[in-house]
Structure 1
Amino acid sequence: MSTTAIPPTADDLTLVLLTVEEAARRLRIGRTTCYALIRSGELESIPVGRLRRVPADAPAAYVARRRIAQQAA
């Protein structure tokens, strides 16, 4: 009996950490733009060894902050 693991996708809500590419897909932006948001501190990320990961709730938090800022303007 063989079981084949299905790799997680950016839409998998059970993920705790996302790759930058997965976070970019959730935000529907490019990878370069996602890295720019990380560099500027607008999108939370953490280092894991030599890798950069985005907490799964960070894209939604970023959008919420942007919506609040938009409404205040």
Structure 2
Amino acid sequence: MKSNVFSEYPDVVNVDQLREMLGGIGPKAAYKLLHDRKIMYFKIGKAFRIPKQSVIDFLQTQHS
């Protein structure tokens, strides 16, 4: 069953969208989560791309 969480976001988001999804966290906090591999990502050139499911997985582990 596909989740409707964050349905307004694409399947792969950028760092600004990630920040919005996490309640407007700052850029340093967002990049720290990525660098610490708390949220999985891949890079295209220098740009971070984050699968939406990685954000959902991260939030579920924080609240369980």
Structure-2 separation of matches of 1:27 and 1:57: 13
Aligned to 1:3: none
Unaligned runs of 5+ in 2: 1-5
Unaligned runs of 5+ in 1: 1-9, 69-73
**Runs of 4+ that moved beyond 6 A:** none
TM-score (norm 1): 0.68
Which structure has more RCO (C-alpha within 8 Å, separation ≥ 6)?
2
Name the aligned partner's letter for residue 16 of structure 1.
D
- The within-5 A match list for 1:53-72 is 53-68=49-64
1:26 equivalent to 2:21? Answer yes
Structure-2 separation of matches of 1:11 and 1:19: 15
- What's the secondary structure of 2:40's corresponding residue? coil
Matched residues, percent identical?
16
Name the aligned partner's letter for residue 52 of structure 1.
F
The Cα shift of 1:54 comes to: 0.8
Task: Give the alignment's Cα RMSD to 1 decimal.
Answer: 1.7
- The within-5 A match list for 1:33-52 is 33-52=29-48
How many residue pairs end up in the alignment?
58
Structure with bigger gyration radius: 1
